[in-house]
Amino acid sequence: MPIIMTVDPRSGVPIYLQLIEQIKRSIALGVMATGEQLPTVKQLALDLTINPNTVARAYRDLERDGVIETAPGRGSFVRSDGAAVESAQTAASDVARENFENAVREAKSLGLHRAAVASLFGAALDRWLPEER
Amino acid sequence: MSTISISHLTKTYGPFVAVDDLCLEIPTGSVFGLLGPNGAGKTSTFKCMLGLANATSGEIRYDNMKLAPATFERIAYVPERSVLYDHLTVAEHFEMQRRAFANFDSARAGRLVGEFGVDPRKRARALSKGMKTATMVAMAFARTPDFLILDEPTSGLDPVNQRAVLNLIINEATRGCTIVFSSHQIGQVERAAERIAILQNGKLAVEGAVDDLKADRKIVEGILPVEDFPVDGYASDKRIARIDKQGRILRLTVVADPDAIASELGGAGAQGVRIVDLNLEDIFIGAVAPAASTADLVETAK
């Protein structure tokens, strides 16, 4: 099952949120295709050695968010109507936004002013996204 | 519904209160982790749950029924210390279990000890601590019980076999078995348990779903503008469970609204305000260790 799945149970981030993020990331990056079947709750719980109800909670939230659908007796699948990819891409931009927010808050708390933060941001853009300047 | 319900359990030994008015509900098919420092009351709770000790007051129900001979057939227990007979072999222990319990599956017990690398022809006295644990785990799981009570079920085992025990627990939970286990290895509880309780001095200090506790509990820390900055206002704040203050450094253990508290602290002139995630070990230490501050706080979140 080609899901990028490394969960760190010792992290302070709830395990079910880590699972949701990784499954969405797999879909956004095209590692998991639309219509593709996910592992069963039991299988994923045993593969990662984590509580099965925690996996079930992640699947429930993914279903509520329109990312996956569950057919009784058949299993869970990535939705094939495009909603899954859209939701996964929204999630990716949410993660990026949160990282920016944290970085700016951290810079502020270290005493940096707006101009200094903007210049650091520009340097990071130059390094990682030069073709889009 | 197989639910374990502990209501107002108290166990005293003379003047010593081992378990103090403990209430817990453990739903069917869930894995529940019982944590606490040594002497917090975990083993006393297990003994009362198993009828090995009489509760001073309160009661324990399985599927809404009190402990009765028929219930014992459905409960399997792995004790903290070896209860194996030194002069008997592992296979002879299995034979005793087979005669005692109608649902004991000797073949499954044999497969399980084989996976742990235990030779069933060996006498218990020749087994290492870990191999004794593995043998008791195999005997408990070979009964396909409805309720499993596991007191340190990985003690003495190497990391590979510890992981194997956790996967056995997960596998049993998926078939609907209700499991309560204790471990000093908090990382294992963090993996396998859905809900936990932390006991301290026989009392319930913290209870909740591991993921919810992690989502709600954060440290908000910052550097105060002056050393005698007033922090007493936080002592009555329901969102704050604990205040640690050393010099100008303030660390607040919050149980709700970490973002709002961080902004408030920044607004009050604190520098370097940040929100730190807590893992289960941090939550455990926060619940059982005294606060390092002038404004000591009792754990308010229940």
Facing B171 at nearest CB: one of A10, A46, A57 = A46
What is d(CA A10, CA A50) in angstroms, rounded to the nearest whole number?
Answer: 11
- The overall average pLDDT reported for chain A is 87
Among the partner residues B163, B271, B272, nearest to A49 by beta-carbon distance: B163
Instruction: Report the range of poorest mean pLDDT among A97-111, B9-23, B286-300.
Output: B286-300
How far, in Å, CA of A47 to CA of B167, rounded?
9
Residue of B30, B191, B218 lying closest to A50 (CB–CB): B191
Q: What confidence score (pLDDT) does residue B291 get?
A: 61
Q: Which residues of A touch B (CB under 8 A)?
A: 9-17, 41-42, 45-46, 49-54, 57, 105-106, 109-111
Q: How far is CA B145 from CA B69, B103, B289, in A?
A: 14, 8, 36
pLDDT tens by residue, A82-128: 777 787 788 778 888 888 888 888 888 788 899 999 999 999 989 98
Mean per-residue pLDDT, B99-103:
92
Over the stretch B148-198, which tens digit does the pLDDT of each residue have?
999 999 999 999 999 999 999 999 999 999 999 999 899 999 999 999 999
Q: Residue B111 has what pLDDT?
A: 97
Tell me which residue in B163, B214, B276 faces A14 most closely, judged by beta carbons: B214
Answer yes or no: do A9 and B173 touch at CB < 8 A: no
Cβ distance B192 to A15 less than 8 Å, yes or no, reads: no
Give B209→chain A minimum CA distance, Å.
10
Q: Cβ contacts of residue B205 below 8 Å, gap of 6+?
A: B36, B198, B199, B287, B288, B299
Instruction: Indicate if the pLDDT at residue A1 is higher than 70.
Output: no
The yes-or-no verdict on residue B13 having pLDDT over 90 is yes
ipTM for the complex shown: 0.85
- pLDDT at residue B123, rounded to an integer: 97
For the stretch B46-80, pLDDT in tens is: 999 999 999 999 999 999 999 888 888 899 999 99
Residues of A in contact with B210 (CB under 8 A): 14-15, 51, 54
Range from A69-83, B49-63, B276-290 that averages highest in pLDDT: B49-63
Q: Which residues of A touch B211 (CB under 8 A)?
A: 14-17, 54, 57
Sign for the pseudo-dihedral over CA of A11, B299, B183, B51: negative
User: What is the pTM assigned to this prediction?
Assistant: 0.86
The torsion region of residue A104 among left (phi > 0), alpha (psi -120 to 50) and beta comes to alpha
Q: Could you give the 3-state DSSP secondary structure of residue B13?
A: strand
Please tell me the distance from the alpha carbon of residue B162 to that of residue B68, in angstroms, as a whole number: 32
